[in-house]
Amino acid sequence: MSDAPPSFNPSPSAPKLRLPALACDAHVHVFGPQRVFPFAANRPFTPADAPKETLFALHAALGIGRCVIVQSSCHGFDNTVVADAIAAKSGAYCGVALLPTTVDDAELQRLDALGFRGVRFNFMHHLGTAAPIADVIALGDRLARMGWHLQIHFDSTRIADLVPWLERCAVPVVIDHMGRVDASLGLDQPAFRQLRDLLHKRKFWVKVSGVDRVSRRPPPHEDAIPFARTLVTEFGDRTLWGTDWPHPNPAAGIPDDGVLVDLLGEIAPAESQRHALLVDNPRRLYGFPIALRSP
């Protein structure tokens, strides 16, 4: 077991905001337990265990009924830990895999049967060497046959280089954590303008998650709220929300997941906005309830 301290709050506050039935947390991870699901030898970081049972208990406390588990780079290309968590929830949870661009179709079909619906690629320096973007876009042709999507995690300084490639993608593209913009640079910063321009093309989606990663202020990260609210207001049918539990590599302290839920009252003030963000949009993109099959 790693001696790394947990990156999640073991006792999050009870949210005041009541979420709609079947609300979806569209961005979480699970780590270990390492005695069952070992970390990859070439992992870029080593977290403390954050197993599915802890995640399930958190969701029960927050009023969350559906979830998207994103494979973490600490587990590499072995997506077993995510598949195990999906199987325990009988169609209420699905997965986004980490895979090499050379993955064969048989493996894609196997993961599809297990409840995976997309592939994530990281373009963040702290998560290791990125796959060539040309190869990522080429994989999109095969993902299209599966009905999958592409999920992209990048530093905001890379958006100008990536946009021309992403526009060629054959499948829907989900942008993580509001494009990791820097909230201190304001709503009119070039990276946020480029993100909004990209979202005018209807194959693009964005997660209004990671407020603590966008913020440059201490909790509750008020400087990040206008960015999330702008995206929900302008692109309300293609926004998704997630806690980012268990908050790997936290830059601004460990978030309180109950507070993150309550921030939805500012991010999506109208009940209709929250229903779209938490229920309707995830159902359309991921296909809830997920049909699990024997691979």
What residues are annotated to the active site? Answer: 244
Q: Identify residue 171 by its one-letter amino acid code.
A: V
Question: What's the rounded Cα separation, in Å, for the pair 69 and 164?
Answer: 28
Say if residues 155 and 180 touch (Cβ distance below 8 Å): yes
DSSP secondary structure letter of residue 31 = B
Say if residues 171 and 140 touch (Cβ distance below 8 Å): yes
- CA 99 → CA 82, 150, 254, distances in Å? 13, 11, 28
- The label of the residue with tokens 């990859």 reads 40
Query: What is the distance, to the nearest Å, from the Cα of residue 152 to the centroid of all Cα atoms in its chain?
Result: 9
Question: What's the rounded Cα separation, in Å, for the pair 230 and 131?
Answer: 31
Which H or E run contains 138? helix 133-146
Question: What's the rounded Cα separation, in Å, for the pair 287 and 295?
Answer: 18
- CA 89 → CA 113, 213, 289, distances in Å? 14, 29, 10
Q: In terms of Cα–Cα distance, which of 11, 117, 13 is closest to 71?
A: 117
